[in-house]
Structure 1
């Protein structure tokens, strides 16, 4: 479980679309304050998903090879296949020359203008930009968490921190070195604009392959 959560957390934090949106949030007037709202809403999504799963399981993992355990493993394989399919969709989309269409992004059009991002909108963006497929994979993994084990509780906290780490680093950088951070983050946004499709493809494909292979191994073990 710990390895799965760590890999999923890394994929979530490196997913380009929320990173690009967060750079625009930080670049807007009052960006640091809006960045805090973005991060809190982002964390709230992760905590809410984990909390729902824990409420369902009661903090106790299902018995090995039981129906709930098998169902969670099958769900992991299905989500993995979905991520692989989405990676292929993005690859074909680029191949068709449609990668740069504005309508393809989850964020509404006004997010492209830093001046148009309000505090409320900054708090709503994480709901739109959260890579829910990856978060769903984390939710399925949390089914196996035993909250009576301190190590599992720590793993859940670490997952939330890892999945938010890129945003936290950018926020702190903007607080302590705003001019340098603004210059570099603008360059990062421009770089991601050109390379986001290969990054999305790689992250979804690799995580999808891991989930499928690991899920099938657990099902046949």
Structure 2
């Protein structure tokens, strides 16, 4: 469970589209406050999903080969295969010149409360679902499990936290560098999506097939 959650958390934090939206919020008027609202909304989604899974399992992993255990592996397999298919599709299309979507640019003008709501919309829910299926195996009677769950949430939010702290303590430099990062991600998001999708997809699918066999 630990390695799976670490890999899923890293994939979530490196997803290019949420990062692009977050940069636009940070570089807008009252960007620090909007960024904080986005982070709180983002974390709330992760925590609520984890809490829902743990309530379902009562904090104990389902027994091996039981229906819940098989279902969680089937979900991870389906997500893994979906990520592989999506990564192959993007790779075959090849990298294309990208421009910032017009609607994404409107994030600069939304309210603080809307910024929190955008965190819900921009969350990579396929990856969050993979994390939820993995949390099915969590055993809350072990202290290390709590630490792993906290680590997962921190990793999944790490890129946002780093940018928020940078913009807070180095505002003069942050705007220029974040804008440069946005330009770079806009031009390389296809390659990033291919790498993340194929890497995590093969891991989830391969491990799920092995455990189901």
Q: Same fold (TM over 0.5)?
A: yes
Distance 1:62 1:115 in 2: 45
Residue of 186, 189, 209 corresponding to 1:193: 186
Residue pairs, 1:210-221, within 5 angstroms: 210-220=203-213
Q: Which residue is 2:11 aligned to?
A: 11
In 2, Cα distance between equivalents of 1:76 and 1:137: 6
Which of 179, 185, 192 is equivalent to 2:172?
A: 179
| Alpha carbons of structure 1 residues 151 and 218: separation in structure 2 relative to 1, 3 Å | same
Contact 1:45–1:127 (Cα < 8 Å) also in 2: yes
> By how many angstroms is 1:83 displaced?
1.1
Q: Where does residue 44 of structure 1 map in the other structure?
A: 44
Q: Which runs of 4+ in 1 moved over 2 A?
A: 88-95, 99-102
- 1:92 deviation in Å? 4.2
Conserved in 1, the CA contact under 8 Å of 2:21 and 2:107? no
Q: Deviations over 1:28-71 (max 9, x none)?
A: 00000000000000000101110111111111100112222122
* Structure 2: gaps of 5 or more residues: none
Match of 1:123 in 2: 116
Higher deviation after alignment, 57-66 or 139-148: 57-66
Instruction: Point out where structure 1 has 5 or more consecutive residues left out of the alignment.
Output: none
Instruction: Give me the whole-angstrom Cα distance separating, in 2, the residues matched to 1:217 and 1:165.
Output: 31
Is the CA contact 1:6–1:162 (under 8 Å) kept in the aligned structure 2? Answer: yes
| Match for residue 164 of structure 1 among 157, 169, 175 | 157
Q: Does 1:76 align with 2:69?
A: no
**Shift of residue 91, structure 1, vs aligned partner:** 3.1
TM-score between the two structures when normalised by the length of structure 1: 0.91
Contact 1:35/1:171 (8 A) holds in 2: yes
Q: 2:4, 2:134 within 8 Å by CA — same for their partners in 1?
A: yes
Question: Aligned in 2, Cα 1:158/1:6: closer, same or farther, shift over 3 Å?
Answer: same
CA contact (8 A) 1:28 1:117 kept: no
> C-alpha root-mean-square deviation of aligned residues, in Å?
1.6
Match of 2:197 in 1: 204
1:110 Cα deviation after fit: 3.9
- The 8 Å contact of residues 34 and 119 in structure 1, kept in 2 or not, is answered as yes
The count of residues paired between Structure 1 and Structure 2 equals 213
User: Secondary structure of the equivalent of 1:218?
Assistant: helix
Counterparts of 1:19 and 1:199 in 2: how far apart (Å)? 12
The answer (yes or no) to whether the contact 1:13–1:163 under 8 Å persists in 2 is yes
Tell me if the contact between 1:62 and 1:69 (Cα under 8 Å) persists in the aligned partners: yes
Task: Provide the rounded CA distance (Å) in 2 between the counterparts of 1:90 and 1:59.
Answer: 38
Distance 2:5 2:45 in 1: 16
TM-score, normalised relative to structure 2 = 0.94
1:177 Cα shift?
Answer: 0.4
